[in-house]
Chains A and B, each alone.
Chain A
Amino acid sequence: MTVARRPLLRTLSVALIALMWLVVPTAAHAADAPKIYGTFTAPDGKPVAGVAITATIDGASQSTTTAADGTFEIVLPGTGSVDVTVDTTTLPSGLSLAKVGDESRTLTVISDKRLLFKLTTGGPTQAPTPGASTPAAPNAPPEGSPLSDQVAQLVVDGLVLGLVIALGALGLNLIFGTTGLTNFSHGELLTLGAFTALVLNRMGLTIVIAAPIAIVLSAFLWGWMQNRYLWRPLRKRRTGLIPSMIVTIGLAIVLRYAILLVFGGSSNNYLQFAAQQGLHIGPVSVTPKALILAILSVIVIVVVVAWLQRSRIGKATRAVSDNPALASATGIDVERVISVVWTLGAGLAAFAGVYMGLTQDVYWNMGQRLLLIMFAAVVLGGLGTIYGAIVGSIIVGLFIQLSTLVIPSEMKTVGALFVMIVILLIRPQGILGRPERVG
């Protein structure tokens, strides 16, 4: 990842990591003859067969080639220092090892060891692989453009990212406000929304029709149903907030790996609008789809805020956020409000998921990657406040993108999370939160 130090978003579009590790340090089962093993996967997720690998231990060499599924395995005669070389001439044309020095390395094998080889197509036009980095808009001005142009582009990218975060954070904050639950599985609501649209899209609906259907379907399936069959019974049992938080962690793991199991680990695109020529407006380049989605999400956010301010149920929602017991005493059906909030939150999250899916890719842990950024946004704006979620999201989006001017872009999420911690030090209630006791 040497290119990643260039302070431009272009780095995002460089092929990065080909392997998503299913990382639990698993099962190095003891054996007299340990093995080295691994998988060669192209950046597009397809296995690479026929790559020759040689392992040399104590002067004795063993060679193998990767099978049709890209895997290889060499059983070593014993433990010790092993030289592993990859015959790069056997790689398919166009592919090369991403890391210099990977073609020959020496390692100590004392038990079964999985080797990781990253492959890249080398060209900077490659679509980002899942897990490459934090979400970001894919456009960047050509290098060498004046700083003001770079800033203008990054501001646009930051606003686009901020809107995605806001759509997710709004639901997160509504649910927190009304139920007190910090939902660690909110990222999966984004992923589920994106995949619901993907399924409909693959079934033949164009994404323009599939997306709204998916959002409504997700709101019902993953929001209303989740509340009805998981959280309402738990509230009835008076499960505490900390146990509930741990339940959301468990749910996040279940959903994430269920999606991985069903859809696999590679990244997907919707059938329409996968690649679009950027529009050049002044110094800024933006794809039409990103522009339309940004406008749509602004409309959605404005409508939701207006609804919360004006409508009866919206006012009831704010009343429940303020004081559930008092709201209940004044005749507000708290359970109904919570049900509405879950449905709305899941719908907004699904919109954010489709948004991410259209501007980037759809992959199994896309929502998880945004979760901590959403938390940073709501903590920044004020946990439980509606405007806070929106303001915090926009600030975090801008901050993430603009910070790439001074820090390596691979570290931009770190910057946002770090700011969250600093905010907690100096103003724990967030920018728009009311000063209250949070400790």
Chain B
Amino acid sequence: MDFSFVLSQSVTQAVGITAILYCLAAMGLNIQFGYAGLLNFGQVAFIAVGAYAVGVVVTSFGGSLWTAIPVAIAGAILLALILGIPTLRLRADYLAIVTIATSEILRMVLRSSALEQWLGGTSGITAKMGKEFHDLNPLPADFGLPFLTWTRQDAWVVIVGWVIVVALVLLTWLLVRSPWGRVLKGIREDELAVTALGKNAYLYKMQALMLGGIIGAIGGILWAVAKGSVQPDGFVPDVTFFAYTILLLGGAARILGPVAGTIIFWFLLTFFGEFLNQAITAGWLPFLDITDVAAIRFILVGIGLMALMILRPQGIFGDRRELALDGR
């Protein structure tokens, strides 16, 4: 058992590119679900829009990354409108069903053979998408700390990614303590009361959906730039539910909840997965195969999600009073 390898993998994953993607997805959900009470089960669609905007603009149309980013943001706003117009007036369960359905519709469109020419069909788009971004890389060489090693490119993505996360955390902090944020929380607690005070709850909910969606799309952009590849089946609903688990782990309606949740979630998940990998390789668990680890990790996430919701819905750092989500 190579314990230091397990540990270094876990640390790397806890702050790596995947973690940043999920952190941004969960931060978007935090605004939508945590503050506005919108049960958006289709966050992965916003990530997909961000990632595919980069892939399509850069490779299929030969544009630059700097064109792709506004396109991605516009795509996220459009998606929020499409999602929000029919559903934001409806009950939470309808919103949940429609958002998850929309994310699946989007995935099936992305993988359709009719649009393969532009979207790459089931194998997606693989190309160097972030040339402009990587050209700005000031790092002289690969990045190495005792427990943390990245290639030069990855390190650049990770640094920029966390800078974006910090900037968006500050933005969220400013927003939720503004009058806008108070209205949002008011809608979550009692929509009728807010409406009676003359606020247009629908408009506020739409803005929350858009803002959360844009943050998710930024995660998608970063993912495409980092990986140089987008695949439709990377955007299954499970991604949304991982983000929910992260959000609920850290604590919904807490500014730093998604950040703390991400780091803890990916550290634990990677640690467990790598530990299991090593244990199986070492022959300690003869009844398991190395290919079983992925499924076991999923089961663990599912159990975690259930346990959190049942035993500690406010998460590790949350405030129970902030999450009195009960109404229909």
List residues of chain A with CB under 8 Å of any chain B CB: 1-2, 4-5, 17, 21-32, 34, 79, 81, 99, 102, 105, 107-108, 110-111, 113, 116, 118, 180, 182, 184, 234, 237, 239-247, 249-258, 260-261, 372, 375-376, 379, 383, 408, 410-411, 413-414, 417-418, 420-422, 424-425, 428, 438-439
**In contact, A242 and B39 (Cβ under 8 angstroms):** yes
Question: Are A26 and B18 also in contact (CB < 8 A) when A108-B127, A110-B154, A417-B105 are?
Answer: yes
The residue in chain A whose Cβ has the minimal distance to the Cβ of B289 is: A69
Q: Which residues of B contact A246 (CB under 8 A)?
A: 244, 248, 305, 309
**In contact, B302 and A28 (Cβ under 8 angstroms):** no
Q: Which residues of B contact A372 (CB under 8 A)?
A: 97, 100-101, 104
**In contact, A250 and B303 (Cβ under 8 angstroms):** yes
Question: Are A99 and B12 also in contact (CB < 8 A) when A113-B229, A417-B101 are?
Answer: no
**In contact, B151 and A30 (Cβ under 8 angstroms):** yes
**In contact, B296 and A261 (Cβ under 8 angstroms):** yes
Which B residues between 113 and 139 are near A, CB-CB below 8 angstroms? 113-114, 121-123, 126-128
Closest CB of chain A to B296's CB: distance in Å?
7
New contact pairs (16) apart from A107-B228, A258-B299, CB-CB < 8 Å:
A23-B236, A29-B12, A110-B226, A110-B227, A111-B151, A242-B326, A245-B39, A249-B41, A250-B303, A253-B298, A258-B295, A411-B109, A411-B114, A413-B108, A417-B102, A421-B101
Q: Which residues of B contact A4 (CB under 8 A)?
A: 113
The answer, yes or no, to whether B190 is at the interface (CB within 8 Å) is: no
Question: Are A420 and B101 also in contact (CB < 8 A) when A182-B96, A241-B93, A254-B299 are?
Answer: yes
Complex Cα gap A300–B315 (Å): 44
Complex Cα gap A59–B102 (Å): 45
Name the contact of A425 in the complex, choosing from B86, B101, B325 (C-beta under 8 A). Answer: B86
Closest CB of chain B to A324's CB: distance in Å?
13
Name the contact of A379 in the complex, choosing from B97, B108, B127, B326 (C-beta under 8 A). Answer: B97
Closest CB of chain B to A426's CB: distance in Å?
9
Name the contact of B108 in the complex, choosing from A26, A410, A420, A422 (C-beta under 8 A). Answer: A410
**In contact, B305 and A107 (Cβ under 8 angstroms):** no
Closest CB of chain A to B36's CB: distance in Å?
13
Nearest first, the 7 A-B pairs at minimum CB distance are A253-B302, A250-B305, A240-B326, A254-B302, A250-B306, A257-B298, A30-B150
- A-facing mask of B9-28, CB < 8 A → 1, else 0? 10011001110010000000
Q: Which residues of A contact B113 (CB under 8 A)?
A: 1-2, 4-5, 408, 410
Complex Cα gap A21–B232 (Å): 11
Complex Cα gap A129–B229 (Å): 25
**In contact, A428 and B94 (Cβ under 8 angstroms):** yes
The residue in chain B whose Cβ has the minimal distance to the Cβ of A176 is: B93
The residue in chain B whose Cβ has the minimal distance to the Cβ of A111 is: B154
Closest CB of chain B to A4's CB: distance in Å?
6
List residues of chain B with CB under 8 Å of any chain A CB: 9, 12-13, 16-18, 21, 39, 41, 85-87, 89-94, 96-98, 100-102, 104-105, 108-109, 112-114, 121-123, 126-128, 142, 149-151, 153-155, 223, 226-229, 231, 233-234, 236, 238-239, 241-242, 244-245, 248, 270, 273, 292, 294-299, 301-307, 309-310, 313, 325-328
Closest CB of chain B to A271's CB: distance in Å?
25
Question: Are A241 and B302 also in contact (CB < 8 A) when A25-B227, A410-B112 are?
Answer: no
Closest CB of chain B to A204's CB: distance in Å?
24
Complex Cα gap A105–B126 (Å): 10
**In contact, B305 and A438 (Cβ under 8 angstroms):** no
**In contact, A424 and B127 (Cβ under 8 angstroms):** no
Complex Cα gap A417–B109 (Å): 12
**In contact, A424 and B93 (Cβ under 8 angstroms):** no
Complex Cα gap A438–B326 (Å): 15
Complex Cα gap A31–B148 (Å): 10
Number of A-B contacts (CB under 8 A): 223
**In contact, A243 and B325 (Cβ under 8 angstroms):** yes
Q: Which residues of B contact A111 (CB under 8 A)?
A: 151, 153-154, 226-227
Q: Which residues of A contact B86 (CB under 8 A)?
A: 421-422, 424-425
Closest CB of chain A to B130's CB: distance in Å?
9
Question: Are A408 and B112 also in contact (CB < 8 A) when A182-B97, A254-B302 are?
Answer: yes
Q: Which residues of B contact A184 (CB under 8 A)?
A: 96
**In contact, B238 and A253 (Cβ under 8 angstroms):** yes
The residue in chain A whose Cβ has the minimal distance to the Cβ of B325 is: A242
**In contact, A107 and B153 (Cβ under 8 angstroms):** no
Q: Which residues of A contact B297 (CB under 8 A)?
A: 24
Name the contact of B270 in the complex, choosing from A27, A255, A383 (C-beta under 8 A). Answer: A27
**In contact, A424 and B244 (Cβ under 8 angstroms):** no
Complex Cα gap A421–B42 (Å): 14
Complex Cα gap A5–B226 (Å): 34
Name the contact of A108 in the complex, choosing from B100, B128, B241, B326 (C-beta under 8 A). Answer: B128
Q: Which residues of A contact B41 (CB under 8 A)?
A: 249
In the complex, which of the residues A17, A24, A413 has the most CB atoms of chain B within 10 Å of its own CB atom?
A24
User: Could you jot down 29 A-B contacts, CB within 8 Å?
Assistant: A4-B113, A5-B114, A22-B298, A23-B231, A23-B233, A23-B238, A23-B239, A24-B238, A26-B18, A26-B294, A27-B13, A27-B270, A30-B151, A32-B142, A108-B128, A111-B153, A242-B325, A243-B310, A246-B248, A247-B309, A247-B310, A250-B245, A250-B306, A251-B302, A253-B302, A372-B104, A414-B105, A418-B105, A421-B101
**In contact, A243 and B151 (Cβ under 8 angstroms):** no
Complex Cα gap A25–B86 (Å): 31
Closest CB of chain B to A77's CB: distance in Å?
13
**In contact, A24 and B92 (Cβ under 8 angstroms):** no
**In contact, B302 and A252 (Cβ under 8 angstroms):** yes
Question: Are A257 and B127 also in contact (CB < 8 A) when A243-B313, A243-B325, A418-B105 are?
Answer: no
The residue in chain A whose Cβ has the minimal distance to the Cβ of B244 is: A246
**In contact, B295 and A261 (Cβ under 8 angstroms):** yes
Name the contact of B325 in the complex, choosing from A21, A240, A376, A424 (C-beta under 8 A). Answer: A240
**In contact, A110 and B238 (Cβ under 8 angstroms):** no
Question: Are A375 and B97 also in contact (CB < 8 A) when A27-B13, A110-B151 are?
Answer: yes
